Structure 1
Amino acid sequence: MKSTPIEVNHTTKQGQAALWSKIVNKYVLEIILLVIILSMTFASPGFLTTDNLLNILRNMALQGCIAFGMTMVIIAGEIDLSIGSTVALTGVIVGLVSGWLSEAGWMGIDQAALVGIVVAFFAAGLLGLFNGWILTKYKLPSFIITLAMLNVIYGLAAVVSKGFPVTTLPSWYSVIGSGKIWSIPIPAIILLLVFAVVFVIMNHTKFGREVYAVGGNPESARLSGIHVTRVKIICMVAVQLCAALSGILVSSQVMSGSFNFGKGWEMLVIAAVIIGGTSLMGGIGKVWGTFIGLIFLGVLINAMVLLNINEYVQYIVRGLLILIAVLITAIQFQKKRAR
């Protein structure tokens, strides 16, 4: 029995509608981002300028470096709420070590700052190792562990700095957070480098596949011969090292270290990761999605500032975005399970 032209046409239209629906579901964030960019181009003449776009990238770098590390952690089925406090502690450590070594006459302040950077990364690595050890040894929720560590690290940064900004830093240190290479801010370049490294690790290495497996089903991963404990600890260390890098960037921009730096950053970082499509349930997510999530948040925040939208309204908008992103991810996950 042959199909009539009307039936064929109806089937073709259904297929096209299904295809468009699939494309919209897959690239919904990119479509919304494009709409915001086009709208802001007409609403604010200063939006689509080279200086403003580079400024968005520079501002994104501070939380963005941490977001890529957080993507690894969340895909592995965990979370780290202590990263904001690590940002503060890092800047304080660099300043204190620079001051101690230079004032003691052991070396010049230029060399002392380099030692301070190394010590800061080492301290962040130890914090990540400790979080991972508690997590895997005692099977406690990472949410609780890192929430407690958020306060511990914050208090430690306040105690060692005695509640005052630490400003014993060499002049060259400002270049890290405020310098430019070929008119491109160095923080933006560092952000792209971190993105590239994490992207390669998660998409083109055995370890990356293990992270997805551990987040998807830890018991199945263990039975497959994957060292679940090692994978989770490495992810917890990685996000802390990313937080240390961000702490160095922010302390470089203001040429001081303070226990107040990084407060509340964990929410913005997690927002970028979730908006980018990474599931809080673990095992699902993409580094590229996090990058798009960062650009989305960066453009949105920049747009609200240019339009003089009330600061408190901006908090409402960010909160609603996180909620919507979580709902979209949950719905997509349920659809996949139903299939």
Structure 2
Amino acid sequence: MIALSRKHRTALAMIGFLCLMTGSGCDYRKEFQFSGPTMGTTYHITIKAPFWNSMTSLDRSIREELAAVNKSMSVYDKESEISRFNAIEDTRQSMEISERFAEVLSLSKQVWDLTEGAFDPTVFPLVRIWGFYTGNENGLPDEKTLEAIHHQVGFGYVRFDDRNHIGKCIPEISLDLGAIAKGYGVDQIAAVIRKAGYTDFLVEIGGEVVASGRKASDQPWRIGINYPDPAAPLDLVYKSLTLQNKAIATSGDYRNFRQIGGKRYAHIIDPRTGSPIDNGVVSVSVIADTCALADGLATGLMVMGHEKGIALVEGLPGTECLYLVKNAEGALQEFASSGFGKTP
């Protein structure tokens, strides 16, 4: 409960009196908004709260939590936990990690198991060898190089225990949690906001979203799924839907790909084959109870394809998905789980 000063209590009483006298449906709440850079992208937060509330302390707590997540899992920070793990060369060595890092690793293992290896946080060496995120404009990797790198990928080579210690089974293994960390960051910020006593808010980091409660207008939050075409404006919406007390994350290959010899190569690599996906899937959106789960699943489902992916989701409580697939003629097709887009 938020404590009010005598001045604020008097103001609230006066507002209530005026609403009763005029018979109007006065609402003393407004939407506060925060935004800024984080995790190589941006965050946007909207919170419904009484208009007299100060958000200074909450804003500071949000920025501190985002900094802590970055400090744990940013591969661009050489002093982060994940960078220190990746630098380990001795398979006999282990390191203690934070609760945040341990939570994400545990969830990564869950999604890795669910998707039968289609989601794998150790896949980044393959992403690099195919020329993504490196500025490498060369041709395709040769088979010998690809095979050697493929042998250095596999989440099963990461060992960790319930005491938050991790190590390596082979020295070459490395982690990149970019396919799940943004979703986890969204969940962490949602937890900070709930701890502060607010129940109506929207948190978004790089397109991954948690929606709680309702807007100031008492309408449900509406979320847009981008049109999956590289030529489309960034804000062009393919489909919008309402979201309440749920999370949504989208993975797509339509912004990051390479065109070589007339063939298109997606940046999403199948960890099991070592090659870019070639299944026609251009976008997958996942609704789940947590954004970290939705985020990790969205990547795994891209790799699995719509038939196996939807079959998996149908067996996961509280989880739905939407696939956008281009057929042989280039037309866009929808494939969705049975409850996707339905108001609970």
TM-score (norm 1): 0.27
Q: Which has the higher contact order (CA 8 A, sep 6+)?
A: 1
More strand by share: 2
